Amino acid sequence: QAYRVDLVPNTGPGTKNEAQYFAYIAYDIDLFEGGSIANLTASIIGNVFGMKAVKALRLEDMRIPVAYLKTFPGPATGVIVERERMDKFGRPLLGATTKPKLGLSGRNYGRVVYEALKGGLDFMKDDENINSQPFMHWRDRSLYCMDAVNKASAATGEVKGHYMNVTAGTMEEMYKRAEFAKSIGSIIIMIDLVIGYTAIQSMAKWARDNDMILHLHRAGNSTYSRQKNHGMSFRVICKWMRMAGVDHIHAGTVVGKLEG
């Protein structure tokens, strides 16, 4: 039910811009399957974006009833537990992404991680497309990175960490990589947004069951969040990911990508 329609400021009659509108739409909660981001998105954005009746459409925000929110597990740990495990309080956590991200061997990649952690960072993270390339197999990278974490912790007397990217082509492979990360001492794993909502929920369930922190890289979000008149707001993606069970999400550089 569309219960309110407002004209977007500086559009329509008396302006140089074509009329645009904010439409406020309410859905009956019984139309949705509980605990399913896939069903929620299929209902909200599934077909309406392809209708010829609208030239462009953008999902700006969602207000989700508490009764429906409670059908989702939400984050298993969050930043509070991460602070406890890393023994860091009273200040922001400081981390970085390994660069250059492609082309390094596992040994050299681990060396970068060690130098960064020893130099003062709390954690390092894999980038979105660091998976299992010919020059650096995922298992080698995981071993070298955890070795770097352990050596940096010993050298500094502080708890250090590394976000292990377990993104892969199948759920079975992601579970295998996540299990390996856990077995060698990692407390944090990472996945990419591009794996899909159901896969994200599945990995969140695994992380909860295995007492692991789950980080999500927003890779691919700009394909639908960058345009101001079509697609969806990153705010909505963040809400969905929190419902799905992600502990924290990659938000990008404050001043803009490749800026500063």
Region at 256 (left for phi over 0; alpha for psi -120 to 50; beta for the rest): left
Q: Active-site residue 257, yes or no?
A: no
Strand ranges (DSSP E) for 26-112? 58-59, 95-97
> What whole-number distance in Å separates Cα of residue 138 and Cα of residue 164?
9
> What whole-number distance in Å separates Cα of residue 250 and Cα of residue 256?
13
Q: Which of 207, 209, 210, 211 is nearest to 246 (CA)?
A: 207
Inter-residue long-range contacts of 139-145, CB under 8 Å, 24+ positions, other chains counted = 139/180, 140/105, 140/106, 140/107, 141/106, 141/109, 141/110, 142/177, 142/180, 142/181, 142/184, 142/186, 143/106, 143/110, 143/184, 144/106, 144/107, 144/109, 144/110, 144/111, 144/113, 145/109, 145/110, 145/113
Q: Using N-to-C axis directions, what is the helix angle for 138-156 and 171-183, rounded to 10°?
A: 30
Catalytic residue among 160, 217, 248, 250: 217
Count how many Cα atoms sit within 13 Å of the Cα of residue 154 in the half-sphere of its side chain: 7
Catalytic residue among 99, 137, 160, 250: 99
Letter for the amino acid at 102? L
Q: Active-site residue 217, yes or no?
A: yes
> What whole-number distance in Å separates Cα of residue 59 and Cα of residue 49?
10
- Catalytic residues, by residue number, are 99, 217
